[in-house]
Structure 1
Amino acid sequence: MRRRTSLAAAAAFSVTWALAACGIPSGKSPEVIGDAPSDFDAASGTTPEEFLPTNDAGETVQNYLKAAAGDAEGRNDRLLAFTEAEQEFSDASSGMDLLADKSITLESEDSVSAVLEVTGSIVGRYLPDGSVLMHSVPRQYAEKFILEREGFSEAWAITEKPEQVVLDYSYFTQSYERAPLYFQAGLKDLLVPDLRWIYRDLEPEAERLLLLGWLIQGPSDFTSFSARNAIPEGASAKSPNVDGTVQVEFAIGEELDGDTVEAIAAQVAWSLGLESEFALVIDGENVREGSLGDWRDWNAIPNELRLQQNGYFIADERVWEYTTDQQVTDTSTDHLWVGFGVDGLRQVAVDAGGQIAAIVAGPDGDVLQVGAVGTTTREVTAELGGDLSDPQWLGADAVLVIDGGMPKAVYLNSGSVQELSVGTDVTSIAIAADGRRLAYVEDGLAWVAAVSVDADGNIQASAPKQIGLDITEVADVAWSSENYLWIAGQRDNEKLFRVALDNSRTEVQDGIGGLVIDQIAANPADPVESTLNRGEPVLVVSGGILYRVQNVGLDAVVADDQQVQATAPFMVLQ
């Protein structure tokens, strides 16, 4: 989540200006201008970073391309500070284009006028509801900016510019932070996150009002496939601070049952990150008080997972444990599935209750075996082929598997099988902790589909969207947080990535070297305590050797002074 603990300020950086302070005559060749420095330390509180025109033409345009960031209601006022007179800007409802790979060229300049060209790529758009729509193919950007001023020492004013508001993408990634909204998964006490981004230096009440406005609008199209808004349509909201206690007040105009009130409170607590006590007021009546901790178990990522840095893998047809203190063992009094073994064991999944689902190679092909820890597993006699992989628990009665390239749900009580229409050549799957998002690999690319589960347990998958738009040769995926994926693939010389589900952020894991990662398993980040987008541990297999992914690089897992040979790493969310 966001701001559970204070986020560190973005790292400051310095650049060298290519343009001399005196400018260049119009007869000289165009000159490329570097990024202007920003005082990022000053932007780490609730005082917004301010960008204004200066007596340097290049710096003025640099600042203009950052000035749209911030409170949406003040956007035009911030931009008008750069213009000589009242000018038109694209409507705020259309969002802001995100400009990457920016280059600013000073084409001509004298003491009172300058012409600059800005080029780059429009990689996406930040929308008014806090979501980001990234383009699968960036659009080329090339626009002229004409500036004037009255004298050499005066600040420049932009007299001609493109109407569409553009925001420097690099600055967007520094000044906007995760602000996921949460919606109810059907009628269950379960929330599904819906990734949004918010300017990090808003005043607390303004921030709450903005988030509440987004929350009232409901889930995105993608999330609405698997979750619904408990807040009725047509509601309005405000959030004053009364005697030091945050109040969230809704005007709804209809009577709500207790379950709906509880779901609204859970959505509000999680979406606004209300770790301190708050009061929920509906139509003037105080209906619920509490803090996020009261609805902690509405999030499927376990509360104590961050303290259980255990991972598991298969070696010698047995389940082994990589322990919190970085030891390797095939015995455990706490985790009874450790040491489970059977001839032909290839892959294992363990649910929150300790049930085992195992893919076992048999004489006629692969079979699915299930059973409780400490009991003999039984073969599932469902109609499955003989090429099975990647078992994943979906509740206590269903297991997802890949069967001949097709993800299928196997219902253990009835023995029925249901295909998920997400692909026919799938090589890897990873279900989110909430069971409502399915990541998978097909044709060397990473994809995510939303999953819906009806009252009878039947599941459906939405149309998928690609994650990691420029990452190919993908071998495996895992959930690094509720809103990010680990992707083991290829982009230039980079091999391992954490990618936001909207593709707006891609973080490269450094220090991989020449290793090719075949498999990956990871605990997701704690959605409350962690400001990071990764949990611990993260285990990968490369060339049959088990490695742990560190902040930088990989460390081979060693036992008895030997590198551990392993396959099929997995985690258990308990």
Structure 2
Amino acid sequence: MTRRLRTLLAVPLVAALLAGGCGIPDSTEVQRVGPGPSTGVSTGEDVTPTRHDRLAGSDPATFVRYYLEAAAGDPNTAMERVKQFLSPTAASSFEPAAEVRVVHLVDTPLVNPGSIDVLLRAQTVGVLNHNGILDPAADGYAQEYTFTVSSTSGQTGLFVTKAPPVLLISDDALDRFYERRKLYFWNHEYTGLVPDERYMPRDLPSEQQPNEIIKWLIAGPSPWLGNAVEILPEGTALDGNVPAPSGGKLQINLSGQAVRPPDDQTKLDRLRRQLMWSLRRSGQWDTLELKVGNQNSVEYTGTDYYTSNAAYALETTPERFLVYNGQVRRMSGSPYASDPVPLLRPEDNRFVRAAALAGSGSRRFAALVVTAGGREELRVGAGAADEKVALAKISPLPKGTTGQPVWAITSTEPTAPAIGLVTVGGRLYSFTSDSPQLTKVDGAGDGITAVAVAPDGRRVALVSRGRLSVAALSTAGDSVRMLPAEQILTAPLKQVSAVDWSSETWLTVAGGRVDKSRVAIFEMTIDGSFVSERLADIGTESVSYLTAYPVSPVSGTDSSDTIAYVANGDAFDVLSDPVRISVADLAVPVPNPPSGVKPTSPSFLR
């Protein structure tokens, strides 16, 4: 079911990395859920949420919840706001660690009758730093925090007389006081932009936000993306502050080091596309005036920069496929339902267990897991959209079960090969569309049961031993390497079994719920800071495979409308409830369907 998503966004704060990530929580409480994802693009109006002050909470439990809002927002005044909740004695000695820790409450704050202590049990979601980066937590186990709350002689209301020595904000405060924004960095091939999610304080005036975003771009990407994308040239700096947009025009002056040599129009064009995507904001400006060093300023108008982001090209309604009786078949009700399956010759489209079909410009790519001679094989091929090609057998396959293949495409060049990924025996391997070789992906580890690739082709989501991680791929040289992964807190789920991308920065995940022995599907941000319920209960059978077709970043939502999954061998569409996919959903009817043969492995042309 598609739900309107609450925006959750964040901002620059103070930070030191905090250990954190994904793990099986030690609480059985129902975890936070909310409406589904929204666009995350501001309307252009400054909306500062109402902040609860010290006198708003009359009971200790509510008072502590409001305390967890105090550090959220403008980092320059965070300490001042926190100290307003502290007694004078506590404020004078309060010296928190240099970090802002985002936590998720697993229980309501606990207060024993007659006690002045409030016990808070919370999981660490991550740590916010000064560049608006939320570093995800490394485990999901609950930590206890104790607050002493009482009145103070001669003062009205409650005070915290003893606080944990750390700046804490709740994930609810993150949702209310920050706006989610995307920065973009070029991949190493300069064929596409890769998004990097950041958090902007809602109390930062809109006219100051471009200044902050450009500073973040200059500072570089989030650590987990670092070596997978290009940073701005050394010495790039703002030449003065960015003035507020006027007359629909945003003016940016950068130092001459931003483009070297200064007359390189290709590099200038890449820079303006990166800026326009990173600064894209509804209702604020439609013309970018960019001046670099002593060069004349150049004005850019329109949306031609959209094409630099592969996610922009995502279709509103994708082509749909499934595997039925060992063949890849088109589904009815999707585009080109009456056309043949791309690339596949009849002699290749047999004994298929799983399939991945992808497109890039005029090119199409196919990867099939087939059963031949009692063994599994991987077969791949590439060609023009209207071409039939012979698939190449990738051999030898390592021992172990072969998972669902996926494509990681970063170029629309007609001759550029595409990289594919597949799990075999719990390990991740790469292959290309033009080489019959399977190569282990360095840095990926083992125990991997699912892998999903973001629209940019450089970021991946992984399920390993029931835990969810995100990572970036590096394709320098002839090999594919995975950069260190970030484990993500999946609070409502005790164990994740399947994942795919709903949009550039949201994931759809399936797994067993923490609060009961049932399986559910959730949507969540890639840093685990916000989770929303998609299907609260889909039974007790584990989801062995899940696929989602991501939405375009200009669609107005981050929630995919097209999701399907497989549980206990049965395939389902995700609507307001699970809807079983049957032989009647094949585009070409089957006159006498064999008994007991069910459609499986639903997929999309990516």
> TM-score scaled to structure 2, two decimals?
0.76
- Are 1:394 and 2:419 matched, yes or no? no
Higher RCO (Cα < 8 Å, 6 or more apart):
2
Q: Which amino acid aligns with 1:173?
A: D
- d(CA) in 2 for partners of 1:314, 1:194: 35
| 2:67 aligned counterpart, secondary structure | helix
**Corresponding residue number in structure 2 for 1:465:** 486
| 1:438 aligned counterpart, secondary structure | strand
Cα drift, residue 185 of structure 1 = 0.8
**Corresponding residue number in structure 1 for 2:598:** 565
- Are 1:485 and 2:486 matched, yes or no? no
Please list, as runs of the form range in 1=range in 2, the aligned pairs for 1:307-386 lying within 5 A after superposition: 307-323=316-332, 325=333, 331-332=338-339, 336=342, 342-352=349-359, 353-363=363-373, 365-371=375-381, 372=383, 374-380=387-393, 382-385=395-398
**Corresponding residue number in structure 1 for 2:220:** 218
Stretch of structure 1 that moved more, 477-486 or 555-564: 555-564
Cα drift, residue 293 of structure 1 = 2.4
**Corresponding residue number in structure 1 for 2:563:** 538
Please list, as runs of the form range in 1=range in 2, the aligned pairs for 1:397-412 lying within 5 A after superposition: 397-412=418-433
**Corresponding residue number in structure 1 for 2:99:** 94
**Corresponding residue number in structure 2 for 1:190:** 192
- d(CA) in 2 for partners of 1:274, 1:216: 19
Cα drift, residue 442 of structure 1 = 3.1
Seq. identity, % = 22
Residues 1:445 and 1:292: Cα distance change in structure 2 (over 3 Å): farther
CA contact (8 A) 1:146 1:160 kept: no
- d(CA) in 2 for partners of 1:437, 1:390: 17
- d(CA) in 1 for partners of 2:311, 2:377: 29
Q: Root-mean-square deviation (CA), in Å?
A: 3.6
Cα drift, residue 285 of structure 1 = 4.4
> TM-score scaled to structure 1, two decimals?
0.79
- The structure number with the bigger radius of gyration is 1
Cα drift, residue 367 of structure 1 = 2.5
Consecutive unaligned residues in structure 1, runs of 5 or more: 1-5, 11-43
**Corresponding residue number in structure 2 for 1:268:** 275
- d(CA) in 1 for partners of 2:519, 2:432: 40
Candidates 536, 551, 570, aligned match of 1:525: 551
- d(CA) in 2 for partners of 1:363, 1:161: 67
- Are 1:46 and 2:50 matched, yes or no? no
**Corresponding residue number in structure 1 for 2:498:** 476
| 1:297 aligned counterpart, secondary structure | helix
Cα drift, residue 425 of structure 1 = 4.1
Cα drift, residue 558 of structure 1 = 5.0
Q: Which amino acid aligns with 2:574?
A: V
Consecutive unaligned residues in structure 2, runs of 5 or more: 9-44, 410-416, 586-592
Cα drift, residue 222 of structure 1 = 0.6
- d(CA) in 1 for partners of 2:100, 2:302: 31
| 2:55 aligned counterpart, secondary structure | coil
Residues 1:397 and 1:75: Cα distance change in structure 2 (over 3 Å): closer
**Corresponding residue number in structure 2 for 1:241:** 244
Residues 1:98 and 1:90: Cα distance change in structure 2 (over 3 Å): farther
- d(CA) in 2 for partners of 1:118, 1:168: 15
CA contact (8 A) 2:185 2:196 kept: yes
Q: Which amino acid aligns with 2:352?
A: L
CA contact (8 A) 1:46 1:203 kept: no
Q: Summarize deviations over 1:224-278 as a string: whole Å, max 9, x none.
A: 1311212534623632125322223323556523333333222222222246222
| 1:177 aligned counterpart, secondary structure | strand
Cα drift, residue 299 of structure 1 = 1.6
**Corresponding residue number in structure 2 for 1:39:** none
Stretch of structure 1 that moved more, 270-279 or 343-352: 270-279
CA contact (8 A) 1:230 1:263 kept: no
Q: Which amino acid aligns with 1:459?
A: V
Cα drift, residue 441 of structure 1 = 3.1
CA contact (8 A) 1:319 1:330 kept: no
- Are 1:75 and 2:78 matched, yes or no? yes
| 1:266 aligned counterpart, secondary structure | helix
- d(CA) in 1 for partners of 2:98, 2:291: 30
CA contact (8 A) 2:317 2:334 kept: no
CA contact (8 A) 1:181 1:215 kept: yes
CA contact (8 A) 2:342 2:388 kept: no
- d(CA) in 1 for partners of 2:494, 2:63: 39
- Are 1:501 and 2:522 matched, yes or no? no
- d(CA) in 2 for partners of 1:65, 1:560: 53
CA contact (8 A) 1:118 1:145 kept: no
CA contact (8 A) 1:467 1:499 kept: no
**Corresponding residue number in structure 2 for 1:556:** 580
- Are 1:299 and 2:299 matched, yes or no? no
- d(CA) in 2 for partners of 1:418, 1:355: 19
Q: Which amino acid aligns with 2:300?
A: G
| 2:405 aligned counterpart, secondary structure | strand
Q: Which amino acid aligns with 1:54?
A: L
Please list, as runs of the form range in 1=range in 2, the aligned pairs for 1:66-215 lying within 5 A after superposition: 66-82=69-85, 87=92, 90=95, 94-98=99-103, 100-101=105-106, 103-104=108-109, 115=116, 117-123=118-124, 124-132=126-134, 133-136=136-139, 137-148=141-152, 150=154, 154=156, 161-215=163-217
